[in-house]
Chain A
Amino acid sequence: MTRLSLADVTLRRGGRFVLESVDAVFEAGRLTAVIGPNGAGKSTLLEVAAGLLRPDAGEVLLGGEPIRAIAPRRLASIRAYLPQSPRAEWPVSVERLVALGLSPQLPAFGSLPARWQPAIDGALARFDLLALRERSATRLSGGELARAMLARAVVAEPRLLIVDEPSAGLDPRHAHEAARQLRALADGGCTVVVALHDLDLAARIADEVVALKDGRLLAAGPARDVLTGPILTALYDMPVKVEEEARDVSIRFGD
């Protein structure tokens, strides 16, 4: 089981609370969107949830085990994490970049074992990257790189996937496609946690929504219960209307 839970998590930076007694539960097979204005602590929450940042207080449990007690390598083979606007530092090929997602599974020396090739090809295909596989990663457009990074994150079939702003820089078609892939991962039993600014996208794909404001939990629960006019108005300090048509939700800011 890969149920991820944060209990009473607090984190200070320079005397300021970045996260203050946040409780959140991310169930296996569910896609949770973390929303909130800039500086609300979304990225920090994701880093804490990924076990990359140790909170000053509180506990993060992955499958009932404290996440800091899990060896980094084992944790890495279960959980994939993608920060906001990731960069490639060297001009490696897209295929090699995606293969880096398999690092925890590889021995310390030697080349990539051939048995991983199908997984790499699959990840490239899922994010429409087959034509770009030999392209150097530093010569990709922002959206292409974002897709390559997503493919890198999912290539090892993680059971917990944490992604910070995956749709930033993607064109509508690829944003839709990336969202569909994340949804499919959750439907396959993976715990998916995604920080999102695009609330329409959140409404479309998320099962649960966690709303953060100023490092505190404003609301958490099923998407339909959190993505409501009053909660979003309080979250963003501006009037927000939520309109539902059939199964579609549209969220409008302003009067």
Chain B
Amino acid sequence: MRAAALQLLIAAILALAAGSLLAGPVWLSPASVAGALADPQPNLAKLLIVEVRLPRLVLALMVGAILGLAGAVLQGLLRNPLAEPGLLGASSGASLGAVIAIYYGFAASAGLATPVFALAGALVAVGIAFALSRTGGTLSLILAGVAVSTLASAGVSLALNLAPNPFAAYEIVTWLMGSLADRSWDHVTLAAPFIAIGAALLALTARGLDALTLGERQAESLGVDVARLRLLALVGTAAGVGAATAVTGAVGFVGLIAPHLARPLVGHRPGAALAPSALIGAALVLAADVAVKIAGPALDLKLGVLIAVVGAPFFLWLVLRVRQVAP
């Protein structure tokens, strides 16, 4: 990867991180942040930064990075530029878990019930996808993932359809839009271990993904255990993306877009694209969250909606371009 591009990317993330700490319903100046943090006495600005804005910033970075990483791994594994983390059922499984928590009222009685149920939903969905595709190859994994995703989405629709009152339906829809608002350190501590484990598993696929550039047969001849690679990608995605979706709701497109922006930086090597894709994913989610904050609470723009609105045209452009480039 070109050093200049890496530096630019890190500089962008730092600038966005600073913006994320300053922006909000109450705008802070860099001087007041420094003053508040240096002040040994508890004060409102310090509380706001440490308890509200910092966890939100950390979550944005974590979630964006794991979405970008998982997207790059899945696109490399499936050798398909249209693959994204939701393909294997992790996102829709998480959504169904969250919806169950909201629908049955667990969410109202325990604050973290929604993310815990969502995480369980993601793991169960990917577990089913894996069980269905255990003996088959990559294609059967995709088919099983799509089947499980569809089933989970049907469950979500059913819950909306049968919602006991409009408020439950509203809550479900709001959760599905994806947001980083009102998240605390509890959300960070819930998601962080799973995201860290997921990222570690996904990072282990790098060399194998490079070899897959030559196709599965040649990769196997180069000593790559393709079945193990699939398992790493699957479990890594389930843990990482499941946890990310659990704490933020459904955030689409990042996992699809980030790898496309990362690949040209590394000569299109799928293994080398993992780290830049994670950085770009983090930058994208953080940028979207800063934009949401700048739009303000009055507009109450949801993170997932903003990313989808910007991401969908990109997706369209991608489809057109792939059609041109494909032989």
- A residues with a Cβ closer than 8 A to B are 47, 50, 52, 72-77, 79-83, 86-93, 96-97, 100-101, 103-104, 106, 108-109, 111, 136-138, 149, 152
Contact = CB atoms under 8 A, between A and B. Distances in A.
A77 B224 CA distance: 12
B213 A88 contact: yes
Interface in B147-174: none
Given A86-B215, A100-B210, A92 B221 contact: no
B79 A89 contact: yes
Interface string B266-286: 011110100000000000000
Contacts, number: 79
Interface in B198-238: 203-204, 206-207, 210-215, 217-218, 220-225
B223 A92 contact: no
A90 B218 contact: no
15 contacts: A47-B217, A76-B222, A81-B218, A81-B221, A86-B214, A89-B212, A90-B79, A90-B213, A90-B270, A91-B268, A92-B213, A100-B210, A100-B222, A103-B222, A103-B223
Contacts of B211: 100, 103
Contacts of B225: 72
B217 A83 contact: yes
A67 B222 CA distance: 15
A76 B215 contact: no
Contacts of A88: 213-214
Contacts of A100: 210-211, 213-214, 222
Nearest to A80: B221
A152 B224 CA distance: 16
Given A76-B222, A90-B268, A136-B268, A103 B207 contact: yes
A104 B267 contact: no
Contacts of A75: 223
Contacts of B215: 83, 86-87, 89
A80 B217 CA distance: 12
A93 B267 contact: yes
